A and B are shown apart, each in its own frame.
Chain A
């Protein structure tokens, strides 16, 4: 089964991926060290705060710009870190062990709150709007809690006058700058690594990720945990250097300001939030005194304009201007990726009596409308089962019920002998099923290779800090890529692929999951005659050569007749026929069901329409 594959010569990739970010980081540290002494005190004071705010803005960008979680709540975690320091130093005094304890307490509290928010906001089927609302409610609740804390929390006046580290201002400048640099470098290494591309994939098509076996909710919650810890650390440092904490640092107005900075600076980039935070915060220190009322109005107008007309923010404009002004000496080549065959994995031989797919009395109803009723059948490895029926018969609904345990209203579904109960799609994938959607759902901003690597997430988690130059794919996937020519363009962005190429890519992604059963929802929709023949051959090969079980929903009856080994006919939510190709095609019942399409000529005309 293994074909030695070596489809293309490697172009010289970049050196170790960490070299550039670390070099930039070290250079930044040097600049900061110099500035700490060279800049005037007033600017130094402002920049210390601005550095910490910029680190905070970075976390907002990671969550929102990259992953698509609009959060107003990072200020709450900042406030938790700050108040941990403030409360401990005010009520217990200051000493090194106490300082360490305060930091630990702040981080622990932030982590606990983040877990709670994660439980509330990130679950299978949650709407992004609800998640944003939860992150909005968090700082409101926290601030009310602080207000009602009376003398203990300082209420609305905050806490001040506590002792802190006895360190000169220049040293604080370096510490804050180093904190920002370290956070930025780590974030940079992460987002450009293979694992970091998952953030973009989630933002673009969360559903597809779930059907690739990725527990998206858990991932988001983990990401929020990490960002909460960073925010709390920034808050802790802030309290130590400023020696004052106040509720407004934990409130939702500050939280929305962070979002504004990220939006103006440029979301989805790392430089954007840093620049946005630094410029606006330091700028306001100088300008807001001169124009107290106009300043907020200007910021508000700029914000609305940017959101409506320039969603990527102002940083890309600046970067483009810079690019035009400074000729680049070296084009950064997109990383070339080579596809290789994955080692064949252990499989139960076909002697296993358990069917690949087993449905018993599956039902689905919406209110009083029964869409599926009493669906029962088995499908075995090596079968190519086509599901046909007129529109509204419930075919797509049935597909959904097989791949997502929460969808059906009754009955049992077993994948490879395992009952899927109420499992979410990513858990069903783990049982061996893959689903290809009707419309090609790939990740527009990612390249072909990156998309395939995401598909391999469950089996071969991508590297967290670097970028591999090879990608192992199972032979069926390689076959599809080679057949459609996608193996020659691994670095092309998915948005530039033709419709047929996107369909093929999605099929390859599903095959990369190494499923035993594949659900295909109208795979020939929108394909040319030649592409249809190609894909038909692929399906047959998948069933016969690789012993997969394929379940197709199709309208093109010619196609169905040519490739299927078995046909199931659905009508008004029930199975009316289940048998071999000839038996079904020639059946009078089926013709009656298709009401009016009495001969194959009209049927294929309808199928190819």
Chain B
């Protein structure tokens, strides 16, 4: 009898100990697993045009994203968590963008989207961004006035890019009459419409405003009109890549020598145009020759990371690098990756990058330092003037 009672007692004690051990193990597991959750990477989705019209520039965008992520991870990540990059192909168009955004938001479940797109792709992706409530930093220059509760833009808009060229032509080249040529699409028309009103506001005159379809390559009739109109300067805004090259080649072949400002060409394309590009004026928020410590450090890091495979950083890939850092700052300020907290925080943080100080606090857009440059004989761009703190203007008045 006594045996039994002692035995029961011992068993009961053992049971209690075992139960206690079990509970504490579970508790410990729960605690460490939430710790394990805390070690889950923060995913940044990059839907970019690996195929299609943007495929020339996409590799440079991916490279600067990789550098940013590597640097951040080396310093401990964001809020103690590592950052992972998820790249998807948006085909540079609407259909591909829908698939890519879908895949990133609903399949890979990224915490944020940071990328450059064509306007068609961006417009197609925005409904999905809204449905997924994901913060989206758009890193490409564009025609302006695209607004969405979840989107910020850290690249330039026409209000920032056009003024330097027009002012320079009017002041330094005494240009009074302008001829505008563009590709017939939203960006081309948007840029030239703004240019036209800016020129007229400053007292100049637009003597011609012609457009060719986006895939057109025969500028002959427009060039003939241009020669008949005899303007003091030309300003163009064509679709990237081929139209830029065909127009420039044909202008040079026709012997056109007036000052030529190109709103839509980057250093890389200018290099591939060879001697035809010499003398073209471009305006942007980034050129590789920017003489600041931040830019020099950035270029050195890119060279070290990618070596011979390096794709020249440009006005589309550098904003990407800075946007990732801006996201990091916003998450740290908000204390979490929760959209509702990160979105307002993105307007309150800033980052000093290769382009200077970036702060997206002007109706979701950012004031920028703009550089006016001229393409040299060897294809490089020499900076002629820089304009600090150019305001983006009224882009999204409803989203103050």
In whole Å, how far is B342's beta carbon from the nearest beta carbon of chain A? 22
Known A-B contacts A243-B127, A244-B94; A156 and B185 likewise in contact (beta carbons under 8 Å): yes
Q: Once the chains are docked, how many angstroms separate the CA of A247 from the CA of B121?
A: 11
Cβ–Cβ < 8 Å partners of A284 in chain B:
99
A173 at interface (Cβ–Cβ under 8 A)? Answer: no
Q: Which residue of chain B has the shortest Cβ distance to A286 in the bound complex?
A: B103
Q: How far is the CA of A46 from the CA of B128 in the complex (A)?
A: 13
In the complex, A547→B366 CA distance in Å? 93
B98 at interface, CB cutoff 8 A: yes
Q: Does B214 contact A (CB under 8 A)?
A: yes
Contact A244 B184 (CB under 8 A): no
Which chain A residues (207-255) contact chain B, with CB distance < 8 Å? 242-249, 254
Q: Nearest Cβ distance between residue A332 and chain B, in whole angstroms? A: 40
Contacts of A296 in B (CB 8 A): 51
A150 within 8 A of B: yes
Contact across chains for A157 and B185 when beta carbons are under 8 A apart: yes
Cβ–Cβ contact A155 & B98, under 8 A:
no
Q: Which residues of A have CB within 8 Å of B106?
A: 40-42, 45
In whole angstroms, how far apart are the Cα atoms of A293 and B213 in the complex?
26
B102 in contact (CB, < 8 A): yes
A148 within 8 Å of B (CB atoms): yes
* Mask: chain A, 20-43; 1 = CB below 8 Å from B; 0 = not: 000000000000000000001110
Q: How far is A154 from B185 in the complex, measured between Cα atoms in Å?
A: 8
Write out the residue numbers on chain B whose beta carbons fall within 8 Å of the beta carbon of A483: none
Quote the shortest CB–CB distance from A146 to chain B (angstroms). Answer: 10
Q: Which range contains the number of B residues in contact with the other chain?
A: 20 to 34
A190 on the interface (CB 8 Å rule)? no
Within 8 A of A (CB), among B111-147: 118-120, 122-124, 126-127
Q: Chain B residues near A4 (CB, 8 Å)?
A: none
Closest residue of B by beta carbon distance from A251:
B93
Residues of A within 8 A of B122 (CB): 157
Does A608 reach chain B (CB closer than 8 Å)? no
Residue of B103, B123, B126 touching A285 (CB-CB under 8 A): B103
B50 interface contact, C-beta 8 A: yes
**Given known contacts A157-B185, A158-B124, A160-B127, is B103 in contact with A248 (CB within 8 Å)?**
no
Q: Contact at A42–B213, with CB atoms within 8 Å?
A: no
| Chain A residues closer than 8 Å to B55, beta-carbon distance | 292
Bound Cα distance from A144 to B126, whole angstroms? 25
Contact A246:B189 (CB < 8 A) given known A156-B214, A289-B89: no
Chain A residues positioned under 8 Å from B120 (CB to CB) = 156-158, 246-248
Residues of A within 8 A of B213 (CB): 144, 147-148
A49 at the interface (CB under 8 A from B): yes
Tell which of B91, B94, B122 has the most Cβ of chain A within 10 Å.
B94
Contacts of A42 in B (CB 8 A): 102-103, 106-107
Within 8 A of B (CB), among A91-146: 144
- Indicate whether B346 reaches chain A with its CB closer than 8 angstroms: no
Given known A42-B107, A246-B95, A249-B95, contact A157–B186 (CB-CB < 8 A): yes
State whether A288 touches B89 (Cβ < 8 A): yes
Cβ of A159 under 8 Å from chain B = yes
Which of A144, A248, A289 meets B100, CB within 8 Å?
A: A289
The answer to whether A288 and B51 have CB atoms under 8 Å apart is yes
Residues 181-213 of A at the B interface (beta carbon under 8 Å):
none
The B interface, classified by DSSP as helix, strand, loop or mixed, is helix
Contact of B189 among A155, A288, A293 (CB under 8 A): A155
CB–CB A246/B89 < 8 A: no
Q: Quick check: A248 and B99 within 8 Å, CB to CB? A: no
Known A-B contacts A41-B106, A154-B186, A155-B186; A246 and B123 likewise in contact (beta carbons under 8 Å): yes
Does B88 sit at the interface, judged by CB under 8 A?
yes
Given contacts A158-B123, A289-B89, A292-B89, contact A244 B98 (CB under 8 A): yes
Question: Closest residue to A156 on the B side, CB-wise?
Answer: B185
Is A160's CB under 8 angstroms from B102's CB? no
Is A485 an interface residue, CB under 8 A from the partner? no
Q: Which residues of B contact A300 (CB under 8 A)?
A: none
Write the A264-295 contact mask toward B (1 if CB under 8 angstroms, else 0).
00000000000000000000110011001100
Alpha-carbon distance A243/B148, docked complex (angstroms): 14
The CA-CA distance from A507 to B364 in the complex, in Å, is 79
**Given A45-B106, A248-B93, A285-B103, A157 and B50 touching (CB < 8 A)?**
no
Give the residues in chain B near A156, CB-CB below 8 Å. 119-120, 185-187, 214
Report the separation of the CA atoms of residues A139 and B106 in the bound assembly, to the nearest whole angstrom.
33
Say if the beta carbon of A461 comes within 8 Å of chain B: no
Given known pairs A156-B186, A246-B123, the reply for A45 and B102 (CB within 8 Å) is yes
- Docked Cα-Cα span, A144 to B215, in Å, equals 10
The answer to whether A244 and B127 touch (CB under 8 A), given A288-B51, A289-B100, is yes
A579 within 8 A of partner (CB): no
Question: Which residues of chain B come closer than 8 Å to A159, judged between CB atoms?
Answer: 123
Q: What is the minimal beta-carbon distance from A251 to any residue of chain B, in angstroms?
A: 10
Name A281-321 residues within 8 Å CB distance of B. 284-285, 288-289, 292-293, 296
Q: Is A161's beta carbon under 8 Å from chain B?
A: yes
With A147-B213, A289-B88: A244-B124 Cβ-Cβ less than 8 Å: yes
Known: A42-B106, A147-B214, A161-B127. A49 touches B98 (CB 8 A): yes
Query: Within the assembled complex, what's the spacing in Å between the Cα atoms of A147 and B186?
Result: 8
> B132 — nearest CB in chain A belongs to which residue?
A41
B94 touching A147, Cβ below 8 Å: no
Q: Which residues of B in the span 48-78 have a Cβ within 8 Å of any Cβ on A?
A: 50-51, 55
The 10 closest A-B pairs by CB, nearest first: A246-B94, A156-B185, A157-B119, A42-B107, A160-B123, A157-B186, A292-B50, A243-B127, A244-B124, A42-B106
6 new A-B contacts at CB < 8 Å, known A155-B189, A246-B123, A248-B95: A156-B187, A156-B214, A158-B123, A158-B124, A242-B98, A289-B100
Please give the residue numbers on chain A whose beta carbons come within 8 Å of chain B beta carbons, in ascending order.
Answer: 40-42, 45-46, 49, 144, 147-148, 150, 154-161, 242-249, 254, 284-285, 288-289, 292-293, 296
* Listed A/B pairs (24) with beta-carbon separation below 8 Å: A42-B102, A42-B106, A45-B102, A154-B186, A156-B119, A157-B185, A159-B123, A160-B124, A160-B126, A161-B148, A242-B127, A243-B127, A244-B126, A244-B127, A248-B94, A248-B120, A249-B94, A285-B102, A288-B91, A288-B99, A289-B100, A289-B103, A292-B50, A292-B89
